Amino acid sequence: MKKLILTLIAALGIVSGAQAAEGGIAWDKAPNKTNDLASLQNGAKIFVNYCLSCHSAAFMRYNRLRDIGLTEQEIKDNLLFATDKVGETMKASIDPKQAKEWFGANPPDLTVIARSRAGHGGTGADYLYTFLRTFYRDETKATGWNNLVFPSVGMPHVLWEMQGDRRPVFEEHESHGHKTQVFKGWQQVTPGTVTPLQFEQNIGDLVNYLQWMGEPAQNTRIRVGVWVLLFLGVFTVIAWRLNAAFWKDVK
């Protein structure tokens, strides 16, 4: 029994060491600003300019962007790169066969990505916020990039010019005779075209937009839900008092 327990402890140590070596880190909390129209508009602009060339949003129509404060003319002038009709869905311009050949798999549709990526580490927005901020240069990979949240990801760092070139800093820890690499921070190798704070804000805006796109009616649903609960609460009090009045003379 003792030998079995020691074997299990050693196995767990090997697994944790492998996870640390792969760069598994805790997810950061994403800014939840799906009511901020300026943030959503900037996120939509970044999505169309940097993501839509490879990733589709096949269940979102361009004209739905009017819900975040954009006019139809603004959508036509600034966001229609893959089609000429504002009523069309957001389909990627890349050929699926070429995408599979270049990246090993066809890039996934992003319409509900923020809802589908939720896990034990947090919400789908938390995952995306951390994922998009933890790319680093890795010449051993076909794309030249790797990621701490998704090791050996086939996706290149499309925002690298904005962020600049960074490298992760690891610290070696030894536990139960097994060495693990623990992520400690970042080393900036070359600066980006924007400041680190601006990059963080841009990623936050992009994640806000992806979160909104997964359920555009979410804010309306929550607002209506609050009023429904308030109505039910008031109605419950009225019904309780009416019930007391009707039955007060019954012995």
The CATH number that applies at residue 45 is: 1.10.760.10
With bands split at pLDDT 50, 70 and 90, how would you rate the model's confidence at 24? Answer: low
**For residue 47, what are the contacts with CB-CB under 8 A and spacing of at least 6?**
57, 110, 206, 209, 210, 213
Helix axes 196-214, 37-46, angle to 10 degrees: 90
- In this predicted structure, the answer to whether residue 122 has a pLDDT above a threshold of 50 is yes
Residue 147 shares a structural domain with residue 238: no
- In this predicted structure, the answer to whether residue 219 has a pLDDT above a threshold of 80 is yes
Residue 39 shares a structural domain with residue 139: yes
Residue 173 shares a structural domain with residue 58: yes
Residue 232 shares a structural domain with residue 124: no
Residue 126 shares a structural domain with residue 156: yes
Q: Which residue has the higher pLDDT, 51 or 23?
A: 51
- Counting the structural domains of the chain, the total is 2
Residue 184 shares a structural domain with residue 230: no
Residue 175 shares a structural domain with residue 238: no
List the domain range (segments joined by +) for residue 183. Answer: 2-216
What does the pLDDT read at residue 251? 60
Residue 55 shares a structural domain with residue 178: yes
**For residue 183, what are the contacts with CB-CB under 8 A and spacing of at least 6?**
20, 23, 25, 148, 168, 169, 170
